[in-house]
Structure 1
Amino acid sequence: MRKLVLFCLFLLFVSSAFALDIKGISVDAESAKCITCHQDMNIATKVHDQWAESAHAKNGVGCLDCHEAEQGDFDAIKHYGQFVATHPTPKDCAKCHEEEVEQNTKSKHAYPFWLYAPADRAVFEPIVGTKQGCEQCHNVSAFWPDGSVGECDVCHSKHTFDLAQAHNPYTCGECHLGPDHPQIEIYIESKHGNIFTTRMAQGKLNLDYNTKKTGDTPLDFPVCTTCHMDAINGLNSTHNVSERLSWESQAPWSYRTIWFEEELGSWKDKQERMKTACKACHAPNFVEDYFLVYDLVNLQYNEIRRAFVYWTKLYEKKGLIKPLKAKTSNGDVKKFSNTVINASWYTTASEIMYNSWHHEGRRFRMGAGMQGADYVQWHGIWELQHNLQEMIAWGAEHGVEEAKKIYESDSPTKFYPYKLYDFPGGLYGLYTEEQYSVPALYKLIPNYWEMVKANVEQAYKKGFLTKAEWERWLERYNNRDKYLGKKFGKHKIFEDYKKRKAKELNLKDKNSALYKTIKIGLPSPAITDVK
């Protein structure tokens, strides 16, 4: 051991007298000590190669510029005669990147959102799973004893701090994926993601760019940072990923954000920033319609959420759901569940309540925000509707008369024990009458559009929609016959389709495709009938 120490000291003495040259990078004497010792002792030998590829190395930022420490620092260790920091924090990064660290510190990435509702991870599952699970991502908002918060290397991996990696959607997808926040899956499904993967296949994917405040993202399609962070269409670049978000659409209830509004402005200002990013590629009419529908999706989710809260509270009142509680180590009684959020997890109704916010409800809203049609539909609203009916059926099975009345109803309106929002016509243009030939609710419910109008108007009056959005919706309402396709007559392709479909599905015609399928008449018995 003594020989090893002497050898290292010798290396440090020798290397301090000159600078190394690695891959064309001139290395200062202090960093040369670190690199030489790590190489010769075979400890994390790839670190210096990664660093040598970085902008830090090219700009003369060496090991101790990030790893310097003083005795008493929380992460300081004595390392061959000097103190070094084992874990640089945003406070260290701020020495050079003060603006970026300040912006990130004010974003939802950095704030400890995982502290607000930890019971679903700390009570329902063994904590060791949480430490290797949720915390892996939620440490993006880690608290450090030096007063800083967050981890820059979550997006800018250690030692390379590669811009291309930070711009790559799959970097965001390390955390933004799965049943509860599937942004990467939604992105790949969307037209934006389609173009991304196409450019990647074509070898035309340049993510190694650096936008300035007056610059512009040099891409003809968006990656995650394009919309949320990059300088584009006159917007300044930012590390505050909350600057362009107008809804808190991950929360149990969707609400208009007031996050740092004293600096970032109102939700309307944030919405306008995101619209500005969209208008770099999309026509203004499309952008305005898209945001209106997205806003209505969030408002509609809230009414579905209201129904889940109603049934959960009713079941709790009847003693079918009991909130969890226990004595803590200091003798206090701690309630581990909030009915509105999770309802204790231990019944079918409890699980439905939780997932309808944390899983399906998020997918419904997030899909609507990112052009993920399958997540809005089959992974979103379809599952929400199924969950709500299952919630009511559970109550009916447990003797709740109000639930039984809905469960036993034969009216299609049974699926809507809540109030509705809607938008006359479609998002992508005008349609002929056939587009709405199905027995849609507006054809079944008297005064449907009048009721919807009252709801949208109330949302506007209560400050959830802008005046421009209300007027845009009202124009659709006043011309709804046009938007519902009643002024354009029959479409010849649809008439042809009906004839061809009728021929295919005619059970009276032995030559029809459906008749042949159903009447195939296999000769053997079913396996269960074999004696």
Structure 2
Amino acid sequence: MKHWKKTFCIAVVGLFAAGSAFATTEQSKNTQDEANKALNVKCINCHLKENTSLVKQWQHSPHAAAQDGQIGCYNCHAANKGEELGYEHEGAFIKTILSPMDCNYCHEREVKEMVNSHHATAGEIMASLDNVIGEVICSMPGTKADAVNGCWQCHGGIITIQKDKNGKPLKRASGAVMIDPMTWPNTGIGRLNPDGSKGSCMACHSKHSFRSSVARQPENCGKCHLGPDHPQMEIYNESKHGIAYNSAIREGGANGMNILKNGTWVLGKDYYTAPTCSTCHMGSYVKLDGGIAQNTHNVGDRISWTLRPKVSVKLNRAIFADGTVADIPGDIPPQVGQKATYKTFVVKDGKFKKVTAQKQVVKVLSWEDRRNNMKGACKSCHGMQQVEGFYKQFDSLVVTYNEKFAKPTQKLYGMAKKDGLVKGSPFHSSLGWTWFEIWHHEGRRTRHGAAMGGPDYTHWHGLYEVARHFYYEFIPELMKLAKEHNMTAKYEKAVNEILAKPEHQWYQKGFGEDTMKAIMTEQAERYGDKK
């Protein structure tokens, strides 16, 4: 890093005399430009005193070691004239907050994949029921503190600029634009940026080192993918994949992950001991023909079921002529040439506005295509019979959850809403809370557990809790409400139609005398229960 300690006196003096003449992002990306280099030096010399660790992170980053010229502060932080976040600082026109649009200058493919992924839409939680919990139910009026510190730090929020009564941005004494402190700092992966873009690359690629090796490690994903409603991190650690990873060493070689390797990281070539989250969902791998499968920044490319909603569905991706995409649910994918609905949210006056359009499909990635993409990664370590067997088991669990519990509960709750047994949001009634926890918490846990090889989350944290809630909380509460509204007969009929199905016979008729005797005998032998 010695060349960063050079003075470049003449270049710097000339540059600062010119003011903002070089302050355009299109120009700033040129790492060979002497004026850009001089500005980078000035940034480093000052911030090395004020933010030592920040600069040290960059000095040991791939950006600083780039072969085509070091990618420094100004190369990334330069702002275009007219950008709301832009301001004059020490002779350069810059901005503090970067967005995927800035990374796009060098990482066009990765950004395109990311902005078309479900990650980029994570901030749309602000237009959903989930956000009501954090923003209203769990927060004080005016601050939205739970949403700010909780939900939005993973999902992303709307970054807003503080403005005066005339709508002009307020500025600090330094000239920096003032950002609403309740919206920044925020590195949520679906963040809504002032330039209109969605996403934050820093959610996975921590500043200012921006190393791929950080994004490869499960702990990185575990910042957001953990907890009662999406415990992928806990499930991974329980799984054989997680056990193999946690018992491996970080370096290469025998029992090594080679996870700190610079550049590409290919399963079957650079490492082979265990998969991480990025391996299965995003990573490159050696194909059966010896070729290398391209990595992806669209985390949905290999996902065939959606495991998030009340009822799981297969997912097909429709790709439109303008490059935008839409996930189309269903076992039968859309066809090229037909029209499909494209939906997105845009920010207007600090609030979400839904925008829909009918677009022509030019390419389709069916749920089967997506599954085959995942199988390609699986085959690097597993035989075909094992891979196919896994998907048989996984599918059977999802179908069991859907058909035995989710669809019947959804139907009954819908009846209760229509008949006025419950009013308002699901959080205005005990019945609504119970239904929410069935699908949003334990229902997700059981599906994710099956998807990732976590048996305890599939059963005890999953379907066991679903069943307990369904039989002994949801149905009794529903019948209580029906009685209060003089609708007992109607709801007895509806419930009995569901419970009469073979999968619920144990609840209706019990286990039978012989089965109960065997259970009591086994418990006495195993646990010493003499009663």
Q: TM-score, normalised by structure 1?
A: 0.67
Alignment of 1:418-433 (within 5 A): none
Per-residue Cα deviation, 1:498-518 (whole angstroms, up to 9, x for no partner): 9xx989957xxxxx9938xx7
Alignment of 1:317-328 (within 5 A): 317-323=418-424
TM-fit CA distance, 1:245: 0.6
Per-residue Cα deviation, 1:241-296 (whole angstroms, up to 9, x for no partner): 11101111112221111234554611110011111111111111111111122122
State yes or no: 1:281 paired with 2:381.
Answer: yes
C-alpha distance in structure 2 between counterparts of 1:288 and 1:513, whole Å: 38
State yes or no: 1:44 paired with 2:51.
Answer: yes
TM-fit CA distance, 1:317: 3.9
Structure 1 unmatched ranges of 5 or more = 1-10, 19-26, 324-336, 338-342, 422-438, 446-497, 507-511, 520-531
Alignment of 1:442-521 (within 5 A): 505=524, 514=528
Alignment of 1:280-429 (within 5 A): 280-303=380-403, 304-323=405-424, 337=425, 343=426, 345-389=427-471, 390-398=473-481, 399=483, 401=488
TM-fit CA distance, 1:216: 4.7
TM-fit CA distance, 1:15: 9.1
**Relative to 1, partners in 2 of residues 1:123 and 1:44: Cα closer, same or farther, differing over 3 Å?**
same
C-alpha distance in structure 1 between counterparts of 2:244 and 2:305, whole Å: 26
1:94 corresponding residue in structure 2: 104
Task: Tell me which of 105, 125, 140 is aligned to 1:114.
Answer: 125
C-alpha distance in structure 2 between counterparts of 1:246 and 1:285, whole Å: 19
**Relative to 1, partners in 2 of residues 1:444 and 1:259: Cα closer, same or farther, differing over 3 Å?**
farther
Alignment of 1:215-230 (within 5 A): 216=269, 218-230=271-283
State yes or no: 1:248 paired with 2:306.
Answer: yes
**Relative to 1, partners in 2 of residues 1:65 and 1:215: Cα closer, same or farther, differing over 3 Å?**
farther
Q: Work out whether residues 15 and 36 of structure 1, in 8 Å CA contact, stay in contact via their aligned partners in 2.
A: no
Deviates more, 1:157-166 or 1:203-212: 203-212
Q: Work out whether residues 68 and 84 of structure 1, in 8 Å CA contact, stay in contact via their aligned partners in 2.
A: yes
Task: Tell me which of 256, 269, 276 is aligned to 2:369.
Answer: 269
Q: Work out whether residues 217 and 231 of structure 1, in 8 Å CA contact, stay in contact via their aligned partners in 2.
A: no
C-alpha distance in structure 2 between counterparts of 1:265 and 1:298, whole Å: 21
C-alpha distance in structure 2 between counterparts of 1:239 and 1:88, whole Å: 18
Q: Work out whether residues 265 and 271 of structure 2, in 8 Å CA contact, stay in contact via their aligned partners in 1.
A: no
Larger gyration radius, structure 1 or structure 2: 1
Q: Work out whether residues 191 and 200 of structure 2, in 8 Å CA contact, stay in contact via their aligned partners in 1.
A: yes
C-alpha distance in structure 2 between counterparts of 1:440 and 1:310, whole Å: 19
1:70 corresponding residue in structure 2: 80
TM-fit CA distance, 1:38: 1.8
Judging by fraction of residues, say which structure has more strand: 2
**Relative to 1, partners in 2 of residues 1:132 and 1:12: Cα closer, same or farther, differing over 3 Å?**
farther
C-alpha distance in structure 1 between counterparts of 2:522 and 2:227, whole Å: 43
1:133 corresponding residue in structure 2: 150
C-alpha distance in structure 2 between counterparts of 1:404 and 1:214, whole Å: 55
Q: Work out whether residues 217 and 230 of structure 1, in 8 Å CA contact, stay in contact via their aligned partners in 2.
A: no
**Relative to 1, partners in 2 of residues 1:213 and 1:95: Cα closer, same or farther, differing over 3 Å?**
farther
Q: Work out whether residues 205 and 211 of structure 2, in 8 Å CA contact, stay in contact via their aligned partners in 1.
A: yes
C-alpha distance in structure 2 between counterparts of 1:249 and 1:408, whole Å: 26
State yes or no: 1:207 paired with 2:224.
Answer: no
Structure 1 letter corresponding to 2:135 = A
Q: Work out whether residues 264 and 270 of structure 1, in 8 Å CA contact, stay in contact via their aligned partners in 2.
A: no
Task: Tell me which of 288, 297, 305 is aligned to 1:239.
Answer: 297
C-alpha distance in structure 2 between counterparts of 1:391 and 1:237, whole Å: 44
Structure 1 letter corresponding to 2:528 = L
Deviates more, 1:195-204 or 1:374-383: 195-204
Q: Work out whether residues 318 and 365 of structure 2, in 8 Å CA contact, stay in contact via their aligned partners in 1.
A: yes
C-alpha distance in structure 1 between counterparts of 2:488 and 2:58, whole Å: 68
Structure 2 letter corresponding to 1:269 = D
C-alpha distance in structure 1 between counterparts of 2:124 and 2:503, whole Å: 31
**Relative to 1, partners in 2 of residues 1:419 and 1:56: Cα closer, same or farther, differing over 3 Å?**
farther
**Relative to 1, partners in 2 of residues 1:514 and 1:147: Cα closer, same or farther, differing over 3 Å?**
closer
Q: TM-score, normalised by structure 2?
A: 0.67
Per-residue Cα deviation, 1:318-375 (whole angstroms, up to 9, x for no partner): 432112xxxxxxxxxxxxx4xxxxx2x1222110111111111111111110001011
Q: Work out whether residues 396 and 407 of structure 1, in 8 Å CA contact, stay in contact via their aligned partners in 2.
A: no
**Relative to 1, partners in 2 of residues 1:305 and 1:37: Cα closer, same or farther, differing over 3 Å?**
same
State yes or no: 1:182 paired with 2:199.
Answer: no
**Relative to 1, partners in 2 of residues 1:190 and 1:225: Cα closer, same or farther, differing over 3 Å?**
same
Q: Work out whether residues 110 and 149 of structure 1, in 8 Å CA contact, stay in contact via their aligned partners in 2.
A: yes
Structure 1 letter corresponding to 2:104 = A
Q: Work out whether residues 167 and 224 of structure 1, in 8 Å CA contact, stay in contact via their aligned partners in 2.
A: yes
Aligned length: 398
**Matched residue of 2:477: which SS?**
helix
TM-fit CA distance, 1:394: 1.0
Q: Work out whether residues 214 and 236 of structure 1, in 8 Å CA contact, stay in contact via their aligned partners in 2.
A: no
Point out 4+ residue stretches in structure 1 off by more than 6 angstroms.
212-215, 406-409, 501-504
Per-residue Cα deviation, 1:463-497 (whole angstroms, up to 9, x for no partner): xxxxxxxxxxxxxxxxxxxxxxxxxxxxxxxxxxx
Q: CA RMSD in A?
A: 3.7
TM-fit CA distance, 1:312: 1.3
Structure 2 unmatched ranges of 5 or more = 1-6, 15-35, 157-188, 288-292, 320-361, 513-517
Deviates more, 1:194-203 or 1:122-131: 194-203
TM-fit CA distance, 1:404: 8.4
Alignment of 1:162-173 (within 5 A): 162-173=211-222
Per-residue Cα deviation, 1:293-330 (whole angstroms, up to 9, x for no partner): 2122222222221111222123334432112xxxxxxx
C-alpha distance in structure 1 between counterparts of 2:413 and 2:267, whole Å: 52
C-alpha distance in structure 2 between counterparts of 1:404 and 1:251, whole Å: 25
